[in-house]
Each structure stands twice: as structure tokens, then as C-alpha cells.
A and B are shown apart, each in its own frame.
Chain A
Amino acid sequence: MDWLTTVDHKKIGILYLIAGGLFFGVGGLEALLIRIQLIKPMNDFVGADTFNELITMHGTTMIFLGAMPLLFALMNAVIPLQIGARDVAFPFLNALGFWTFFFGGVLLNISWFAGNVPDAGWTSYVPLASPTYSSGHGVDYYVIGLQIAGIGTLLGGVNFMATIINMRAPGMSFMRMPMFTWAIFITSALIVFAFPVLTVGLVALMFDRLFQANFFETGSGGSAVLWEHVFWVFGHPEVYILILPAFGVISEVVSTFARKRLFGYSSMVFATVLIAFLGFMVWAHHMFTTGLGPVANALFSIATMLIAVPTGVKIFNWLFTLWGGSIRFTTASMFAIGFIPTFVMGGVTGVMLAAAPADYQYHDTYFVVAHFHYVIVGGLIFGIFAGLFYWWPKMFGRMLHEGLGKITFWTFFAGFHLTFFVQHFLGLMGMPRRVWTYLPGQDFDTMNLISTIGAFLMGVAVIVFLINIFVTAAKPRHAEADPWEDGRSLEWSIPSPPPEYNFKQLPLVRSYDAWWRVKREGQAEMPVAEPPGPIHMPSPSIMPLVMSIGLFIGGFGFMYDKLYLAIGGIGITLVCMFLRSVFDDHGFHIEVEEQERGVRS
């Protein structure tokens, strides 16, 4: 049961992959149920209440429990290897981050079994989400579940910032880091600044709901629009948190499979920083119809349009990385290349949405649904698939089956466009979003049918992917250190999967694309920066698991007004924190002889 006590980033990455994958599946099922309900007008496959629960859970689960953990899986699996480190800066915190996310996600999904599912949308606007209009426990599951899961994400952000700042191998200056590492570094900064805003909003909503506070009660001096501001000041950076890692993956995959260094590396770094910075300045473009007034709407329109510029810079740099290269089509590179036109389509509808008066028509219609699915699914999910196929051998020592992979790609690509392209038109033709059903005779019927068929195609693609995983798991662990042969960064210089300590001796980095440069000079191994010696490793611990269970129990106590559960649960967590602070854990050492024998993680 060392999976329950591990603090090893490689294992934690796999845990994130499994948990994130499971929740992604749950979110996908919710999506299919939504699309079945909308397959024809005045359908009654599910009731109106259930439908609102489905759309709420679909959005919340996919973003917080599906996409983000899958990104954390890649981050954990790859970053320490890419910077030539043996683990992250705070391994215990890393495990704690995983378990809090996991239990937060479990708590949220227990709502289905408790019969009290949040149903106010993933954005949970008040007054609909206030105790007056959502008097059941549904929204409480949302508030508490996200609060606990959010702790995990915040810890992860802090951890990766510290790791990338402090633990790069000797010689790896910032401008010699791989682009994926840069992307994660900037994403971590976004997490550190954006998640506390969500925390504040959730605390305020929790106090309104559980303790009769009035932050958002307009009758008692509060403001309902205030929730929108707080949510979106978090919410907009959140979508950049989602996409920047995918951008990082694309940079890695495109470069490797074109056999060319990334075109315009410094511009790419600068553009990514600019996107992150501007990302905090545009939140009110989600609120153009709230009545902020023309000055605010004009300013936020312009700021939003400006983000298109650095994003465009990145697109062109990827295209020019491919230009003049020697392009190899594997499942990984196909997802990365498929990303480019698809994400651009999503991006241009984003610029269209940025024009506030046009947004008065688009807002809260299927046009917006089409836009964000284009950038999240066509962008982020394509990026995750690319990253998974690319780094699978490094994580598991086996390569995913390419034939099945290509079937996954084509089915998902076709299904995706079928599902979401028509939705642009549905929105323009007058179909609002979050609608349980629609009347016949509005010209919505055919396009909704097409959209549902596309959704099922995507489901097929995911099933083929699952089959691929099982078929691959049955194969022996034969992958080489550099299975794609054209690896450019440090993770490809060590075995697949790496030994527990990653690097026997920390590598000496003398350039960008360090491994590629060394290969070009005819070497078979990275030059080292230290002599062999005992390697200091962090000890495993059961405490992250126990602490998360404590928060989980405490959460239920708060929701159901059971003081003993609330105090008991939080108490467990506090006791663990006390024990961890008071009892020194010095870790352990892996001696040189064990290293010779090869310590497998």
C-alpha cells in the first residue's frame, strides 16, 4: 500500500492520472446524459431539476476534478525530470495536494448519492445559489467540495513555483528551461494568485448559506453582482491555468516530432507571461450584460482583444517550428497538430465575444458554449491527449499502441467538431445555454441532433483510449530511455520509467534542449555535475491521506450541522499538522550499491 503513503512525484503523477481520468469519465457521462436530453425538442429523458444538476456537475467536475488533475499528472510526471531534479521542493505537500483534491472531488460527487446535487451552474450565481432559492444541501456540496479540492490545487501551485525556482540542475538558467517547464512555472504563479480569490468567494458563500451572513443578500445590504466579480476574478485566470500547460505540451511535442528546436523561444516565454498577466485584467468580459456601464464594457473589451496578440504569436511560432522540419505523425503529434487549427477557431470566437455589444447577443447562448468547448476540449484536452501519448513511455515504461491511438484521434477529432461547430449557430439563432429543453419550430432540432451524435463519437474515442491503456498495460515494460528517438529535454536522458531517485548524478546543463545538444555531440549520456554518492530521499507518510480524510469529515459536519463531525474532522487534520511540525523526519538515503542494482520506483 505504498500508493497511499507515497511522496514520490512520479507515483503522485500516476495517482492524479487515475483519479483525474475517473472524474473525467464521470463528467463525460454527465455530458452524454445532457446531450441525450437535448437530442430532440420537448424531450423528457431527465427532469428539469436533474438537468440543472447535470450541467452543474458536468462543468464543475470537468474543470476542477478532470482537467486540472490531468494537468497535475503531467506536471508531476515531467517537471522534476525536465529540470534535472530528484523530486519537487515539498514532496509531503505534493501528496497532501493530491489527497485533498481527491477527497474534495469525492465529497462533491457524493452529492449524487445524497440526492442533494448542486444545480446552480458551475458558476453558482447568487441569488439562485443563496439559501433562499437553493434551500437544500446541493450548493453546500459545491462550496465545501471545491474548498477542499482547491486547497490541493493551491498547494500544488506553491510547490511547483518553489521547485522550478530552486531545484533546476546546475547550468539550467531560466532561459534554458524547456517550454513546458516555463508554462508550468507561469501556471503555478497564476494558481497562487487566482485560487485564493475563489477561496474568499466560497467562504463568503458558505457563511451566507450556513451561518446566515449577508454578503450576497441584496435585501440586507449585500450584492448579488459581487459574487460574479469575485468568481470571475478567479474564473478568468482559471481558464489560463487550464490552457497554458497545454501550450507547453504543444511546444514540446511539435518540436520533438519536427526534429526542430522551438521557433522563437524567447518570444514564446514573453508571450506566455503576457497572457498570464493580461489574464487578470479581463474578468468582466464574463459580465458584459450585467449592467456595468459603457466605460467598463469598453475597457474590458479592449483588454480582452489584446490577449489575442500574444496568443497569435504562439500559434505562428508553432507553425514556424514545423516549417522546414521533418514531421513525423504519431498519435501525440497528431493531437498537437490538430490542436493548432482547432484552438485558433476557439480563439477567434473569443475575439468575437470580446466585442461587448456583439456579446449582448452571444452571452449565455450556445455560442459561448461552442467557444469555450473549442478552447477547453479542442485546446486543453487535445493537449492532454498529446502529452499522455508523448510521456506515457516515460511514466509507465510502455508505449501506447499507435494504431488504437490514431483511431482515438480521428474519432475524437471528428466527434468534437460535429458536437461543437453547430452550437455556434444554435446560439446565434436564439438558443440560450443551460436550457433543459427547447420548443419545436425554432430551427434548433437538426443541429441539436448532430451535436448529440458528435458527443457519442467522442465517447467512442475515449473507450478506444481506455482499451489502449489496458492492451498496453498487458505488454512488458520495454520502453527505452528515449523511445521517440528525438527527445530534446532531460527526461529522455534517463530510463523509462526512471529509478526512484530519477538521476543517479545530477546532470550538468550547458544549453537549451540540453539532451539534444549532448546527443548531437555524439554522447550517450548527460555530463554530470556531481560525483556518485548516497542520495537523500523523503520518507513516505500516511499523514496526507489522514489529513484529507479529516477535512472530508469536517466538511460533512459543517454541511449537516453536526458539530462533533465538524470539530472532529478538522481536529484530525490539526493533530496531524501538529505531529508533522513537532516530529522531525529526516528522510532516508539510497546508497551507491543500491543505485548500481537499479532501484525501480
Chain B
Amino acid sequence: MKTMRRLVPLLAGMVLLLSACGGKSDLSALKPQGPVAQEQFNLMKTSISIMALVVVVVFAICIYVLIRFRRRKGDTTIPKQVEGNHKLEIVWTVIPLLLLLILGVQTINTVFGLSKDYSQDKDAIQVKVTAHQYWWEFEYPQYGITTAQELIVPTGKKISFEIASADVIHSFWIPSIGGKIDANSGVSNRMYLEFPKEGVFKGKCAELCGPSHSLMDFKAKAVDQASFDRWVAAIKQPAKYSDDDAIKTAFENKCLTCHAVGETNTGSSAPNLTGVGSRLTIGGILYNDERPVEENIKEWVTDPQKVKPGATMPSAEDLGLTSEEIDGIAKYLANYKLDY
């Protein structure tokens, strides 16, 4: 039929479009990089297949009706007035119910499967996530370490998260690894994720939290177990400071009132800076592969609100940092790397 000949290439085109528009594999929910995202993607595929069937049926009837029953010029006949059809009503009630049954079973299985609590599991890595305006704090209670902005995890383990917010509601989301869960204030949420592949995966904040909501990116970096152990060891090393005494003093007086290096500082008002030089970004969005770390740190420290409107860090001017101090601190922090 003519309609079919027009519909099929259209559908094929749409499928092509869908596959091309899959997005980036470190960011897209359509390109799952872990079992949690995969299970969610499977549910998406089931639901869209069932729904595509419905759409095709509705569109087919609609197109047919519009062509077949359009009023021809000069036609004044009154069509037969049909009250309804009991059989049809039953058909289009029962069939959707059956389709929903199929979707419902998989949905319920997945809801319960993904809600498993690994917080007491000896083999799982426990991570406490605290969301702030506009950065992410990651504490590893099993190892007594705290870091920020970059979630380092070993592959092949269950990562059990306990997530809360220090201020407004945020939402913790690593799309290619799994769905999100809200970071509420005053009460924490539990979720688990798995990272079978090594790599860097993008994380986003997914609840409006203020002006810099869109800039609250973080990274999840999955490394092999050995590398993860090295990282834990490296981050537990005593703090390194600048060789220059003046810079060290300035750093201690003006930065360490909020930040910390070389020790845990859970729930502090600023990110832990241990090993910040080896992170992929400064401030979550200044990429260290696009510009030298040192320059990114300088840009950030000089005027945090320019990079992230509404950031709670005072500007260099407010802190009384001279430009030599900024240069010195940037150099020191850029070289404060962790070897893992």
C-alpha cells in the first residue's frame, strides 16, 4: 500500500538517526558502560518497542482515515452515525493492558534488583557523597580519605553510595554508568553502581541547585584494583607544601581556612586539594588537557564567580591574595600530583 511505501523508509531513517545520535560513550545513557546502565537501557528498549508498536498502529489508522474519508468536493451526504462498538472498546482496552503487563513485570523486577543495598557488603567499596553548591565531595570511610570532584573507583567491584547534600537538593548522575539519585538535605539515599571498564565517565548534577547548576560537572574515573590501591596509599601520604615559605604561609593562612590537604576533612566547606594537580579539571569545568593546570588554577582562584556564578569561594581580591601569591600557589598546586 502506498502508505507503507512511505512509512518504511521514514522509520528506517529514524532508526538510523537514533543510532547516529547515540551521543558520547562517556556520557550517554544510550551507550551503557556498566551493568546498572545496561539494565536501565534494556528497560528503555522494551518500553520504546512496545510504545513504537502503539505509535505505528495509531499513525496507520490516522493516515488511512484522513485519506480515505476526506470530504470530496461538493459532497453533502451525511455519513452513517455510529454510536460505538463494544467489541472494539474491549480490544483496545485489553491489548494495552496486556502490553502494560509485559512492561510492568520487567519494571518491577528492575526496581527491586537495582535497589539492592550493598552498604553492609564486605566486598563493596563504600563512598559517601556530599553535594555542595557547586562541587562534589567524596569520602571513603573504609580508608579514612576524602577527596573532591573526581570519584576514583576500582573496576569489578560494587560501589555502594550514601548520598546527601550539604545545602540544597542536588542529584548525583553518571549517565553512562547508571541512573541518578537525589542528594537531599538532612537525609541520605543509598545507591549502587558498577564500573566493569576502565575509563573516565562524566558526571552531572541533575537537580536545579542555583546559578551554576549546569556547571556542576564531576568525573568518575575507573581504574584497575592495583591502581586504586596505589591511589588510596598516595592520598593518605602526609601533606606536601610549597618549597617557597612565603607561598606556604599564604596558602595556610588564606586557603586552608576552608580547604584541606593531606588529611580527611569531611563536610568541610571547600574541596580537599590533595593531589589536585593530577585531576582532569579545575573547578569541574576547566579542563587540564585544554590548558595547563597552572593556568586553570590561576583563572579559578582569581575570580571563582566568573567561572561559576554563585560559587561560594571568595575571590582572590576578597582573600587579599597578591598576584605573586596566586602564581606561587597555582604552581605549587599544579605540581601536587598523585602517582597511581
**Chain A positions near chain B (C-beta within 8 angstroms):** 47-49, 51-52, 120-121, 125-128, 133, 218-219, 223-225, 258-261, 263-267, 289-291, 293-294, 297-298, 301-302, 305-306, 308-309, 312-313, 315-317, 319-320, 322-329, 337, 340-341, 344-345, 348-349, 351-352, 354-365, 425, 428-430, 432-439, 441-443, 447, 520
Contacts and interface: CB of A to CB of B under 8 A. Distances in A.
Given A319-B65, A327-B66, A439-B217, A430 B54 contact: no
Interface string B88-105: 110011001100100110
20 contacts: A48-B309, A128-B210, A218-B187, A260-B81, A263-B85, A290-B182, A293-B115, A298-B112, A302-B104, A309-B97, A323-B65, A351-B47, A357-B39, A360-B40, A428-B28, A430-B202, A432-B173, A432-B213, A437-B215, A441-B24
A442 B21 CA distance: 11
B211 A49 contact: yes
Contacts of A126: 169
B288 interface: no
Nearest to B54: A348
Interface in B54-89: 54-55, 58-59, 61-62, 65-66, 69-71, 75, 77-85, 88-89
B207 interface: yes
A439 B280 CA distance: 15
A496 B207 CA distance: 50
B270 interface: no
Contacts of B47: 351-352, 355, 358
A340 B62 contact: yes
A320 B62 CA distance: 9
Contacts, number: 297
B48 interface: yes
Interface residues on B, range: 35 or more
B208 A434 contact: yes
Interface of B: 18, 21-24, 27-30, 37, 39-41, 43-44, 47-48, 50-52, 54-55, 58-59, 61-62, 65-66, 69-71, 75, 77-85, 88-89, 92-93, 96-97, 100, 103-104, 106-108, 110-112, 114-115, 133, 167-169, 171, 173, 175-176, 178-182, 184-187, 189-190, 202, 204-215, 217, 285, 309-310
A258 B310 CA distance: 57
Given A308-B100, A309-B100, A261 B55 contact: no
Contacts of B39: 357
Nearest to A130: B168
A557 B11 CA distance: 59
Q: Give the secondary structure class of B's interface.
A: mixed
Q: Give the secondary structure class of A's interface.
A: helix
Given A291-B182, A358-B44, A128 B208 contact: yes
Contacts of A327: 65-66, 69-71
A52 to B, nearest CB: 6
A323 B69 contact: yes
Contacts of B71: 259, 326-328
Contacts of B309: 47-49
Contacts of A348: 51-52, 54-55
Contact of A358 (B43, B80, B215): B43
For the complex of A and B, 10 pairs with smallest distance between CB atoms: A360-B179, A218-B186, A429-B23, A435-B214, A48-B211, A291-B189, A348-B51, A264-B84, A430-B27, A294-B115
B24 A358 contact: no
Contacts of B171: 289, 363-364
B104 A224 contact: no
Contact of A263 (B29, B84, B189): B84
